[in-house]
Amino acid sequence: PMLWIKKYRPNTLDEILGEEHIKNQLKMFAESGSFPHMLVSGSRGVGKTTALECFLKLVYGEYTSENVTVIPSGTLFSQGRAYLEANPKFTHLYQKNMSVLANFKHIVRWHASLRPLNTPFRVIIFDEADALPQDAQNGLRRTMERFSATCRFIFVTTQPASVIDPLRSRSLPLSFLPIESILIANRLREILSLEGKEGTVSDDDLDLLAIAVRGDLRKAIMHLQVAVETNCPIDPESIDDTETVRLSNMILDAVRRGDQSAAQKGAETLMIEYGLSGRELIRTIWRSLKVCCNNPKATLLVAETDSLIGMSGNEYLQVNAFLARLLEMKI
């Protein structure tokens, strides 16, 4: 059967849940036919990529694929040469005698220099922009300046603080918040109705699922389909990624032992290898904290750190400061 996350993926901006101000701004850009470089951020499953796809269809219509290049930064830099050699979109540009970084810069310059089709400028999207090495980001700054008249750069990331200041200062920030649980629950009911599966999942379970996914609509729809097709009840406790929860518990164990270095290493693992943003990491640790102890000061520290990161504070610095202060509390 077809995956529901694909079947019910929004095709227009109006179908995307929440973020009315961002959708209205994108519609205005589409109507004017002009827009700046952008930094699109938000946690997984909140509609960042889908919103961009719908927006670019409005801008370019039938010529979208000709005017838009998507570079999956995380995959490119994790797989390196193997990815460049195997991907038909980049194979003709790949040069074996050059490093992955040099190939990346060559590919970006080549696509940025292409003549736009039936439009003043084309677009390059850097998905998982937080995976771009510092050298790659520094190179992009010069490329943005050189081709600004004919190309727009869009950075998509769960960790905006990992994008260097020169790129952020040249880009309009669009921050997607987690989708409200009531919107998710209503969407799940709509999907059940469209599938003719009303009543197969109770309203209480739908509400619990909507809360458990913490704003990730994609995850909610996946769990809903599994529950319906396997006829198994939804267990909100099983929705969390067990590996991230286990690592979070290890971080707290290190904090209790007074081992700040081990705690920081665990936090870096969750952010770099598992792709958690600073806010997602703090909230994961908070959930582990609630299980092991009830410390009001720690809860206040979580809220304060979450707020600081939300105000564009450097994620890594704020997380390390959070762990240091948590260690001082002797939880």
- Find the Cα–Cα–Cα–Cα dihedral 291, 276, 177, 155, rounded to 10°: 180
Neighbours of 176 (CB within 10 A): 21
Q: How many domains does the chain have?
A: 3
Rounded Cα gap, residues 224 and 5, in angstroms = 10
Would you give per-residue pLDDT tens digits along the chain (331 residues)?
A: 678 999 999 999 999 998 999 999 999 999 998 999 999 998 888 999 999 999 999 999 999 999 999 999 988 888 888 888 888 888 889 998 999 999 999 999 999 999 998 889 999 999 999 889 999 999 999 999 999 999 999 999 988 888 999 999 999 999 999 999 999 999 999 999 999 999 899 898 999 899 888 888 988 998 899 888 888 777 766 665 566 777 888 898 889 889 999 899 889 888 877 777 888 888 888 888 876 676 788 888 988 888 887 776 678 888 999 999 999 987 7
- The whole domain housing 77 covers 19-175
* Same-domain pairing of 309 and 211: no
* Same-domain pairing of 32 and 109: yes
Residue 49 lies in a domain: yes
Give me the CATH number covering residue 145: 3.40.50.300
Amino acid identity, position 213: V
* Same-domain pairing of 49 and 73: yes
**pTM of the predicted model as reported, rounded to 2 decimal places:** 0.72
Sheet with strand 172-175: strands edge to edge: 68-72, 122-127, 151-157, 38-41, 172-175
* Same-domain pairing of 28 and 140: yes
* Same-domain pairing of 127 and 202: no
* Same-domain pairing of 152 and 53: yes
Amino acid identity, position 317: L
Give me the CATH number covering residue 318: 1.20.272.10
